């Protein structure tokens, strides 16, 4: 075998498998926030996740170094929906690019396309992921575990963390494999009609869980009572008969309105709510 032929074989990209993509996803999951920097944000995490795949694709050191560099540009997204999907997509596109280079074909997957794909998806997918994972799913797990915590069971403290980790691993794995399978079309699939139905369903479920939490664990009652024509009226008893749970609902609704108008200023809301409730308690309303 001639030296040229042997060199050609040595530079041939290896096939990227589901196992490689899974390993890349796990590396992204592990390193997600570790090398967080002001100028690049999570780019180093994504690059580190892709290193084993890039090494299989680019046997030429100069090409491998260039691949590292193009994945060190600014990148920031949510862990599972964004990170999982984009990890899979980048694995797929880099595989296509490496084979085009090896076969001396015109490069359709250039640096601009790779970065623009990441830039176009990272914000949209992060918004969905934050709303579903951080805004809905984790609170469902907390709501499930609250009764156990009230009973003094350690499962009440451990279950939300363990369940959320397992959920993220499973969801991220699914999106990484989907991204690898569909390439650039994965983004459209993630935000497609079926996924939108799932997102809407989870959002509705999350609202139900928030209602259950407000009704079950927020305790606000009125101590106000008065006599009319010798008959005593206890306000809380009347409210329980007409609108049970209305006072906790008003507290939650008031906080919601405050957050909508003033932004998510949690400390200000807690201080203000404490002052209001203390004044109402002092004058005998609560």
Distance CA 203, CA 219 (A): 25
Distance CA 151, CA 56 (A): 53
pLDDT at 184: 57
Integer angstrom CA distances of residue 285 from 126, 128, 244, 250, 258: 44, 42, 17, 14, 22
pLDDT at 246: 73
pLDDT at 231: 67
> For residue 64, what are the domain limits?
3-212
**Does residue 159 sit in the same domain as residue 250?**
no
Confirm if 97 and 58 have CB atoms less than 8 A apart: no
Looking at every residue in the chain, the average pLDDT score rounds to: 79
pLDDT at 54: 94
Phi, psi dihedrals of residue 231, rounded to the nearest 5°: -105, 130
**Residue 70: HSE in the Cβ half-sphere, 13 Å Cα cutoff:** 21
**Does residue 47 sit in the same domain as residue 83?**
yes
Confirm if 107 and 52 have CB atoms less than 8 A apart: no
**Does residue 202 sit in the same domain as residue 230?**
no
Distance CA 48, CA 45 (A): 5
Distance CA 251, CA 274 (A): 11
Residue 243 in tokens: 């609108």
For residue 169, what pLDDT band results from cuts at 50, 70 and 90? very high
Confirm if 38 and 74 have CB atoms less than 8 A apart: no
Per-residue pLDDT at 249 exceeds 80: no
Helix axes 111-129, 61-70, angle to 10 degrees: 40
Q: pLDDT by residue (tens digit) across 70-93? A: 999 999 988 998 899 899 989 988
Confirm if 147 and 156 have CB atoms less than 8 A apart: yes
Confirm if 114 and 90 have CB atoms less than 8 A apart: yes
Per-residue pLDDT at 98 exceeds 60: yes
Q: Which residues contact 187 (CB under 8 A, 6 or more apart)?
A: 85, 89, 117, 120, 121, 124, 125
**Does residue 143 sit in the same domain as residue 271?**
no
- pLDDT cut 70: percent of the chain above it: 75
Give the chain's domain count: 2
For residue 168, what pLDDT band results from cuts at 50, 70 and 90? very high
Phi, psi dihedrals of residue 109, rounded to the nearest 5°: -100, 80
**Does residue 146 sit in the same domain as residue 115?**
yes
Per-residue pLDDT at 2 exceeds 50: no
For residue 209, what pLDDT band results from cuts at 50, 70 and 90? low
Q: What is the mean pLDDT of residues 117-128?
A: 82
Residue ending a domain, choose from 188, 212, 236: 212
Residue ending a domain, choose from 212, 240, 257: 212
Residue ending a domain, choose from 195, 212, 229: 212
Global confidence as pTM:
0.68
Q: What is the largest CA-CA distance in the chain?
A: 112
Q: What is the mean pLDDT of residues 277-283?
A: 76
**Does residue 41 sit in the same domain as residue 146?**
yes
pLDDT at 212: 61
Q: What is the mean pLDDT of residues 234-242?
A: 69
For residue 4, what pLDDT band results from cuts at 50, 70 and 90? very low
**Does residue 120 sit in the same domain as residue 239?**
no
**Does residue 21 sit in the same domain as residue 152?**
yes
Highest averaged pLDDT of the listed ranges 59-68, 97-106, 198-207, 219-228: 59-68
Residue 41: strand pairing partners: 37, 75
Q: What is the mean pLDDT of residues 174-198?
A: 67
Per-residue pLDDT at 277 exceeds 80: no
Confirm if 47 and 72 have CB atoms less than 8 A apart: yes
**Does residue 97 sit in the same domain as residue 229?**
no
Confirm if 33 and 77 have CB atoms less than 8 A apart: no
**Does residue 36 sit in the same domain as residue 118?**
yes
pLDDT at 156: 85
**Does residue 48 sit in the same domain as residue 81?**
yes
**Does residue 202 sit in the same domain as residue 243?**
no
- Helix, strand, or coil (residue 192): coil
- Least confident interval from 192-196, 257-261, 267-271: 192-196
pLDDT at 211: 63
């Amino acid at each position: 075998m001639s030296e040229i032929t042997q060199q050609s074989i040595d530079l041939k990209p290896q096939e990227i498998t589901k196992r490689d993509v899974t390993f890349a996803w796990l590396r992204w999951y592990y390193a997600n926030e570790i090398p967080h920097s002001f100028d690049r944000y999570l780019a180093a995490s994504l690059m580190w996740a892709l290193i084993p795949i890039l090494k299989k694709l680019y046997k030429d050191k100069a090409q491998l170094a260039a691949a590292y560099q193009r994945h060190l540009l600014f990148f920031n997204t949510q862990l599972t929906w964004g990170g999982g999907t984009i990890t899979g997509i980048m694995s797929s596109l880099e595989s296509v690019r490496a084979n085009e280079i090896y076969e001396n074909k015109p490069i359709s997957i250039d640096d601009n396309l790779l970065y623009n794909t990441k830039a176009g998806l990272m914000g949209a997918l992060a918004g969905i992921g934050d709303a579903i994972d951080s805004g809905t799913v984790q609170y469902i797990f907390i709501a499930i575990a609250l009764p156990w915590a009230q009973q003094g069971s350690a499962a009440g403290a451990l279950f939300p963390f363990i369940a959320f980790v397992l959920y993220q691993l499973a969801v991220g794995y699914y999106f990484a494999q989907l991204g690898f399978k569909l390439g650039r079309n994965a983004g459209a699939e993630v935000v497609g009609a079926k996924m939108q139905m799932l997102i809407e369903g989870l959002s509705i479920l999350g609202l139900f869980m928030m209602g259950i939490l407000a009704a079950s664990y927020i305790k606000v009652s009125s101590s106000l009572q008065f006599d009319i024509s010798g008959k005593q009226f206890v306000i809380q008893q009347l409210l329980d008969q007409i609108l049970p749970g209305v006072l906790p609902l008003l507290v939650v609704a008031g906080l919601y309105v405050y957050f909508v108008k003033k932004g998510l200023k949690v400390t200000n809301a807690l201080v203000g709510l404490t002052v209001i409730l203390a004044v109402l308690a002092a004058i005998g309303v609560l």
